[in-house]
Amino acid sequence: MVVNEELAEHSDLDLVKLTLENQENFLYLVQRYEKKLLRFIRRISGLNSDDAQDLLQEVFIKVYQNLNDFDQNLKFSSWLYRITHNQVVSNYRKNKSRPQLSLFDLDLESCESLISDFDASQNMDQKILRDKMSRALDGLDLKYKEVLVLKYLEDRSYEEISDIIKKPTSTVGTLLSRAKKNLEKEFRQ
Amino acid sequence: MENTGQEILDIIKEQNIQPKKRWEFLFKNYLLWLAFSLAIILGGLAASATIFIFQHATWVEMAPGFSPLKRLWVNLPLFWLLSLSLFSFLAWYDFKNTKRGYKYHPFIIVVCSVILSIALGVAMYSLGLGQKLEDTFFRRVPFYQQMFRQGGRMLVEPDNGHLAGIITHIGPEAITVEDFRGRSWTISTSTDEFQTGQRVMLIGRMSDDDKFICESIKPWVKRPGPPPPPMFFRP
């Protein structure tokens, strides 16, 4: 398919409407979000590249099937992340007995924003710091890992996280606070 | 990675995947609202029966010899309170699954559901629905009757001057009461104010020839009769 530059500039909502008229236009939505979603899937699921790619396909197919359910009161990206969250949780439940071995993919900047609240980075080699934080994140429950990723790595607001995980904003706050405590505990072990 | 979009499009085409119709999602959302409303209404009915029992049970006056805890336990409308809790839980479940339901804390939803049901229950009680419902359940639902009898057994202590049971026969100058343990008693009394099937409580004493001398007899709940006037219009 030839990429139409003009269509690629359209808003998410316009692309949703255009996809409902012509399925070929779904390509633009996929192209706009595939990298972000793949990174999100890998960050919270710990799946390897191939499995994450398969999951991403399932996510986009779900998105396509449910396009008519898109609530315009939400940001389209929040709705996409919500579907992704649901698929990851469902995949996690299916494969709970199978341990995930891949380490958390973390850059130093994200790492620093995560540990800014607890003074743990002093005198620590950057590589060691990153590895330690990756292991600490991997050791967390999915629900804690996910809110930390959404808040600190995906830079989502409380409101957006609430829309993604379908919990009240007050619960998001509580989850984040517990997640940070657990992360610190894991980090210091 | 570069071909992800095209691969997805190919799968969609090959498997002829179509977006679900908008009405399917709307229908699901309306169903949830309908189920929520139904749960509130049924909760309201349970609340109206609860209010009716609390307002009309004569147990406070009738059981001075019993400990407050026992009186409360015997007369607690457990069935209706459990029903109210169940419907409030269902209301919460339905509401949280509506489009924006997740925005609200479960505690807020449950409290609001209970308040809505109680408000509706007060209105239903004022219209006499609580009385009708409780009476119908006692007459038609064996499980409810069994539960009521079970509690009533605690009030059957003829040696201590207490009896509770159901009127099974009304004669010209006496009524027959079958107590909640299954024993029949003939009580001499004026019979105008009673009806067969009515639940009553009696205070009196046992005579030497194993008869119950009744000093006071009161209906468990005030029945039959017209529904009580709306609460708001009472003096």
Per-residue pLDDT tens digits for A151-168: 988 899 999 999 999 999
Residue B230 domain-assigned? no
Pairwise CA distance, residues A33 & A59, whole Å: 11
Kindly tell me if the per-residue pLDDT of B195 is higher than 90.
Answer: no
CB contact under 8 A, A171 and B4: no
Q: Do A162 and B102 touch (CB under 8 A)?
A: yes
Highest mean pLDDT among A15-19, B68-72, B228-232 belongs to A15-19
Q: Are B48 and B94 found together in one domain?
A: yes
Domain residue limits at B29: 22-140
Provide the sign of the torsion angle of the four alpha carbons B11, B15, B20, B24, taken in this order.
negative
pLDDT at B2: 54
Q: Cβ of B102 under 8 Å from any chain A Cβ? A: yes
- A41 and A95 inside one domain: yes
CA distance A103 to A143: 17
Chain A residues with CB-CB distance to B22 below 8 A: 68-69
Last residue of a domain, one of A76, A100, A124: A100
Q: Are A164 and A121 found together in one domain?
A: yes
Q: What is the pLDDT of residues A118-140, one digit of tens each?
A: 655 556 677 777 788 888 888 88
**Across B152-156, B207-211, B224-228, least confident range:** B224-228
In chain A, count of helices (H) and strands (E)?
Answer: 10, 0
| Contact B103/A at CB under 8 A | yes
Q: The complex's ipTM? A: 0.81
**Does residue B10 fall inside a structural domain?**
no
Other C-beta atoms lying within 10 Å of the C-beta of residue B11: 15
Range of the domain at A69: 9-100
| Chain centroid, CA B34 distance in Å | 22
In chain A, the number of structural domains is 2
The torsion angles phi and psi of A56, rounded to 5 degrees, stand at -60, -40
Boundary (domain end) residue, out of A44, A75, A100:
A100
Residue A3 lies in a domain: no
**B183 and B215 assigned to the same domain:** yes
Closest alpha carbon to A177 in A135, A136, A142, A147:
A147
Average pLDDT of span A110-118 = 67
Distance from the Cα of residue A110 to its chain's centroid: 14
User: Using 50, 70 and 90 to split pLDDT, how confident is the model at A97?
Assistant: low
Are B113 and B176 found together in one domain?
no
Structural domains in chain B (count)? 2
Distance from CA of B232 to the nearest CA of A (A): 38
Distance in Å, alpha carbon of A16 to nearest chain B alpha carbon: 11
Average pLDDT value over all residues in chain B: 86
With contacts defined as CB-CB under 8 Å, which chain A residues touch B9?
1, 23-24, 26-27, 30
The single residue listed with the structure tokens 């349970």 is B46
Say yes or no for a CB contact (<8 Å) between B19 and A66: yes
Q: Is residue B65 part of a domain?
A: yes
Across the range A35-40, mean pLDDT stands at: 93
Specify the pLDDT at position B224. 45
- Determine the Cα–Cα distance for residues B86 and B43; give it in Å rounded to an integer: 8
Determine which of A6-20, A62-76, B38-52 has the lowest per-residue pLDDT on average: A6-20
Higher pLDDT, B99 or A108: B99
CB-CB under 8 Å, B21 with A34: no
A15 and A60 both lie in a single domain: yes
Segment among A15-29, A51-65, A90-104, B69-83 with least mean pLDDT: A90-104
The half-sphere exposure of B233 on its side-chain side, counting CA atoms within 13 A, is 6
> B98 to chain A: nearest residue by CA?
A166
Element (H, E) at B206: strand B199-206
Residues of B in contact with A170 (CB under 8 A): 105
